[in-house]
A and B are shown apart, each in its own frame.
Chain A
Amino acid sequence: MSRFIRKMSRRATVQALIALPALKLFGNQPAPANPGGIDPDEIVEIDGWILRRSDLA
């Protein structure tokens, strides 16, 4: 780790330190409902059928 920091430029180190407080903004984000970005409860209309997305599986 220390070797990695030694190899970073002074400028990059300062930028990383400035960014650190912002990291907590992402800490409370809920996990996505599904990794594929598809809501299984979404209502869809296909060929006249009114279905839940999950019905199409």
Chain B
Amino acid sequence: MIFDSYEAYKQAGFKPKACVLGSGPAGTTIARKLGAAGIPVVVLEAGSREFSDESQDFYRGKTVGDFYFDLDITRLRFMGGSSNHWAGWCRVLDKQDFEPKAWAPDTGWPISRADIEPYLPEVHDILELPDFRPDVPVSDDIRWVQLIKSPAVRFGEKFADELDKSGNIAVVLNTYATELTGDGKRVTGARLWSNGQDAGTFSADYFVTCTGGLENSRLLLWSNERSNGGVVPNAAALGRYWMEHPTFEGGNAILANYSEFEVDDSNEAFFSPTLAAMERLQIMNFGIRLIESPYPNVKKLIADLACTAPSMAEWMSSKLDQRLRCAAQLYVAWEQAPLASNQIELSKSDVDHAGVPRIELHWKKSPLERRTLLEGLRLFGTTMAQKNLGRVRIDDWISNGGDYPTNEETAGHHHMGGTRMGTDVLRSVVDANCKVHGMDNLYVGGSSVFCTSGQCNPTTTITALACRLGEHLVKVIAV
């Protein structure tokens, strides 16, 4: 069932056991799991079926620190959430991403990759993915990794019909919780806002917030402030350890044989470090994306190389004359070190139309990450040269320690952390089952529970974690 307002939903007399906030990949997946198990669930979606400026305005906010995107363009507030604009890149976090790293504080998850692997067949169906191929070692330091360019499933479009026909799932559009109320043990209710006005209070036995990697923290910070700590009793880490995947063009490569590497349909290939290389250099995970260079760039690269290695430039020039693909741009996306100081705060001066403080995001890249970028490109370049696969040139601003450019990709629009998973209540917000520490009936879905970000796009892992949480909730609620 899909309703366009809370008023219409109330008239239907639906009696949910659980309330899911948000209809993005996590919220929709969890609701489908509950619905399939015969558990009545209501999904509150703040937006409607389509994009609107009015809805999007609730996402405006401010960033303090490094340059970042406007907060109202880096995510979407309508049915299906940010799946409405994702590019479709898929890969699950690596096994090593779940492990603690001695050289990077506050890394390590309370679960391992093996805990989400049983859900991957389901994830493949949801995201319409073929099977992933295993990594291929290129050297002791570098491995070829596969990122699958999926059809970029729009959850709102794909599942609208199924949700509409479901007798166990009620989706209420244009409706969201401005705050949850709680007594330090349980969420006792939610204050709703529907179609531009206060819609009163609402209660359910269980609440699952799946409003996104920025908004989950905002909702819980505001709710906790209003409830005097009654919603997140252990709030030391709430809003903290927020992470992105910084992404910049890092250099170029000339290649002995472009077809040496398996490329995808877009002629792109991806490389990551081995755990041994990360340990040896004490760096974070990263992904180097190799994209075929346009012709004018190749000519400039040859001219540059001619100054340093004339015979190599001559060889490359002959390749170019034969119209062979011989050069690539290198884009680097890397794992941010989790830092408590990278955090979501509530604005003290700016509120949205419903009176909820907007987000003030404090975000800064660390020296460890800067080293990861430089050493990562060196690792890749060294492997290419040692194996005679090609030669790499690192961009000057990286070699010379210059400022990050502000006219490049900047980051992946991947919002992670803020309600991270863990066992230490001072450093985490939810437990291994995504339940808020100290609360009996409040759960969190989505990438805000990530402890570390790895180097790959998060949607596949988000969906796997949502399948796992959905299955857990089925067991909990069915008791």
Contacts and interface: CB of A to CB of B under 8 A. Distances in A.
A47 B308 CA distance: 8
Contacts of B378: 45, 50
Given A43-B382, A55-B312, A50 B307 contact: no
B263 interface: no
Given A48-B251, A48-B399, A50-B381, A55 B386 contact: no
Contact of A49 (B311, B386, B388, B391): B391
Contacts of A55: 309, 311-312, 385, 391
A49 B309 contact: yes
User: Which size class do A's interface residues fall under?
Assistant: 10 to 19
Interface residues of B, number: 22
Interface string B302-315: 00110111011000
A51 B312 contact: yes
A51 B307 CA distance: 13
Interface string A32-47: 0000000001010111
B386 A51 contact: no
Nearest to A41: B386
Nearest to A47: B308
Given A45-B378, A46-B308, A56-B309, A51 B391 contact: yes
A49 to B, nearest CB: 5
A41 B388 CA distance: 10
B309 A50 contact: no
Interface in A1-57: 41, 43, 45-52, 55-57
B394 interface: yes
9 contacts: A45-B381, A45-B399, A47-B304, A48-B396, A48-B399, A49-B309, A55-B312, A55-B385, A56-B309
Interface of A: 41, 43, 45-52, 55-57
6 tightest A-B CB contacts, nearest first: A50-B381, A55-B309, A48-B394, A55-B312, A50-B392, A48-B393
Interface of B: 251, 304-305, 307-309, 311-312, 378, 381-382, 384-386, 388, 391-396, 399
